[in-house]
Amino acid sequence: MYNFEFVKPSSVEEAIAALKEEDAQPLSGGQTLIPTMKQRLNQPSKLVSLLGIAELNGVSAEGSTVTIGGATPHAVVAADASAYPALAALASNIGDPAVRNRGTIGGSLANNDPAACYPAAALASGATIVTNSREIAADDYFQGMFTTALDEGEIITGVKFPVPEAANYQKFEQPASRFALTGVFVAKYADGVRVAVTGASNDGVFRWTEAEEALSGNFSADAISGLTVDASDMISDLHGTAEYRANLVKVLTGRAVAAC
């Protein structure tokens, strides 16, 4: 990999200042960034580690909101987010134990891999992405595969999740990468049900609004039995065709509702 300068600031302000340099990039857990750099697909002049900033790490619960620091590793979310069990369960199944000790929620959301788990949780929960300069609603944050509302040099400092009445995440795992071949997160709130799908669409994570409407009226797996998912925008690759993924969306949504 190309060489770069490594810095590890201890405050958000210092990190933002360091990121002003051209081609500087934030480094969180590095579980995607480092492999990408090894392949020379990415060539930062400077990496600004966010893991030395204490305020970015940890899980807190207040009232009906769970807040997770941007640089909190998946393993810590799995262990400490007991106030939102479906979220803790999702975190406990990302990658493998070593990846979960390094990879962070902010890194996952900033990367917005089309098959990552956290984007489904954030979108289905109507979470708020908190950055060093503003708060962004999940509905405005995800803007397509590997694309988000974040500006250059803007970092995720935390994510606020409203805790639902019931929720479940069903991940149909690609067994080699442990990413979601398709994953569906269903969250039931007093004002309606939200359904977010990852791993399936060429546009990245999306809400399956027809299912949300059906489930908001009748929260049972039967409520979606008459629906079909359009395969035309779905990912097709050697692991599964677009039609296969479209079918998985429906099957996994039913399973998630049944498990709620």
Partner 1 sequence: MKVTMTVNGKSMSGDAEGRTLLSTFLREELGLTGTHIGCDTSQCGACTVHVNGKQVKSCTMFAAEADGAEVATIEGQANADGSLNVIQQAFQDHHGLQCGFCTPGMVMAAASLLEQNPKPTEADIRHHLEGNICRCTGYHNIVKAILAASGQEVPAVAAE
Binding residue for partner 1, selected from 51, 89, 227, 259, defined by CB under 8 A: 51
Site string for partner 1, 139-178 (x = CB under 8 A): -------------------------------------x-x
Q: How far apart are CA 241 and CA 211, in angstroms?
A: 22
Closest distance of CB 15 from partner 1, Å: 15
DSSP per position, 98-123: HHHHH-BHHHHHHHT-TT-SHHHHHH
Q: Does 37 bind partner 1 (CB under 8 A)?
A: yes
The closest of 188, 175, 164, 171 to 251, measured between CA atoms, is 171
Longest dimension (CA), the chain: 56
Residue whose tokens read 């071949």: 181
Q: Do 201 and 208 meet the contact criterion of CB atoms below 8 Å apart? A: no
63: region left, alpha or beta (phi > 0 left; psi from -120 to 50 alpha)? left
Q: Does 22 bind partner 1 (CB under 8 A)?
A: no
Touching partner 1, residues 75-104 (CB under 8 A): 75, 95-99, 101-102
What are phi and psi for residue 25, nearest 5 degrees? -135, 150
- Residue 100 or 250 having the CB closest to partner 1: 100
Burial of 20 (0-12, 13-18, 19+ CB in 10 A): exposed
Question: Angle 129-135-136 (CA atoms, 0-180°, nearest 5)?
Answer: 60
- Residue 73 or 119 having the CB closest to partner 1: 73
- Residue 176 or 190 having the CB closest to partner 1: 176
Pairing of strands 156-162, 65-69: antiparallel
Binding residue for partner 1, selected from 34, 149, 227, 231, defined by CB under 8 A: 34
Give the chain's count of helices (H) and strands (E).
10, 12
Closest distance of CB 4 from partner 1, Å: 5
- Residue 38 or 134 having the CB closest to partner 1: 38
Of the listed pieces 29-37, 118-126, 128-136, 157-165, which binds partner 1 according to CB under 8 A?
A: 29-37
Helix (H) or strand (E) holding 66: strand 65-69
Binding residue for partner 1, selected from 9, 30, 144, 162, defined by CB under 8 A: 30
Closest distance of CB 95 from partner 1, Å: 7
Closest distance of CB 175 from partner 1, Å: 9
Binding residue for partner 1, selected from 10, 23, 38, 258, defined by CB under 8 A: 38
- Residue 47 or 180 having the CB closest to partner 1: 47
Q: How far is CA 142 from the centre of its chain?
A: 10
- Residue 37 or 186 having the CB closest to partner 1: 37
| Residues within the interface to partner 1 (CB under 8 A) | 1-6, 8, 30-31, 34-35, 37-38, 47, 49, 51, 75, 95-99, 101-102, 176, 178
